[in-house]
Amino acid sequence: MRLMNLSFGATHRALLVAVACSVFTTGCLEKMGLNAFLGATRDGSHSLNTFQDFEIAREATAAGLGQLEGMHKLAPWNEDGLFMLARGWATNSYFFAEDSYEEAVAKGDAPAANYHLRRARAGFVRSLYFGQELLKRSDDGFDAATQDAGAMSAWLDDNFESDEDALRLLWVGFSWVEHAHVSKELKDVQARLFVGLEMLKRSLEIDENLEHGMAHTLLGAYGSDLAENEKHFKRALELNDGGFLPTKLSYATTFYCAKSDKAAYEKLLGEVLSATDAIPAARLPNTVAKRRARRYLGAPAFQKSCGFS
């Protein structure tokens, strides 16, 4: 989290800029105000993850996205706004639209499931729209780089190396692979899964600790080699000490599901359900993980999808 901790010198410079703006143009002050507001909003946005109440978090996320869309219209140049929109649409789709989809599947309500699946896809597409715009601020070679994994890896290595870059790549990569997850029948989406995976790999190379080792969790869930996937899951658990429950959830529902290991699957999901509040800063993702673990253990549709009777 970035801290709003200006030194005296930085504060003095900011005042000089403000005075200069007031002399030459009111537009400059308006731009400064928008930038300051969006910067402060980003600083405070992490508090949503401390929510344990799923319904309040869902309403707050929807309201926040509406406000961010309006602010982006006023300040399209602002990269904090672009980042929050990319992250916000991604988390809204994963936490809430996908949850509604799974709830409908568990009830056997096919029309509702189809509706919420389309919502999840649309949310990830919107996240990727803002996320790609953000990445293109670093270099305009994104479209050319997406032709193959080698080109993508080289482009990322050449243009992204800072901590901020790692965070951006993590969230755009998250949207990319999750969009593929909810679009299994769309061949063009599946064919370009490598783009998101390469983003996650580059983010991990810069800082593997971000969001409790989330890049490792995602690479474990969506990688193509089971042995490598397990290494990523184990490393994520080392980084978050097992307290970031989406790691165990994904470990169970991807790796152990693929291996048809029902005992390990149920054991990990049981650990998710019995977990304590180990990471207060991750209460919301942990609450979502518990909701899904309960569903995966109890709903026949999810048991059958893993080949379990």
Tokens of 160: 């992204």
The percentage of residues in the chain with a pLDDT greater than 90, rounded to a whole number, is 83
Report whether 220 contacts 232 (CB < 8 A).
Answer: yes
Q: How far apart are CA 297 and CA 106, in angstroms?
A: 11
pLDDT digits (tens, 9 = 90+) for 200-216: 999 999 999 999 999 99
CA–chain centroid gap for 224, Å, is: 20
Q: Give the model's pLDDT for residue 19.
A: 41
State the distance between the two ends of the chain, measured CA to CA, in whole angstroms. Answer: 45
pLDDT category, 305, cuts 50, 70, 90?
confident
Place of tokens 């996937």: 229
pLDDT category, 3, cuts 50, 70, 90?
very low
Whether residue 21 has pLDDT greater than 80: no
pLDDT category, 29, cuts 50, 70, 90?
low
Q: What is the mean pLDDT of residues 140-155?
A: 95
Tokens of 41: 């909003």
CA–chain centroid gap for 145, Å, is: 22
Q: How far apart are CA 308 and CA 86, in angstroms?
A: 36
Q: How far apart are CA 31 and CA 241, in angstroms?
A: 43
pLDDT category, 301, cuts 50, 70, 90?
confident
Residue from 56, 86, 57 nearest 69 by CA: 86
Average pLDDT, whole number, for the chain? Answer: 91
Tokens of 253: 């529902």
pLDDT digits (tens, 9 = 90+) for 84-100: 999 999 999 999 999 99
Whether residue 131 has pLDDT greater than 80: yes
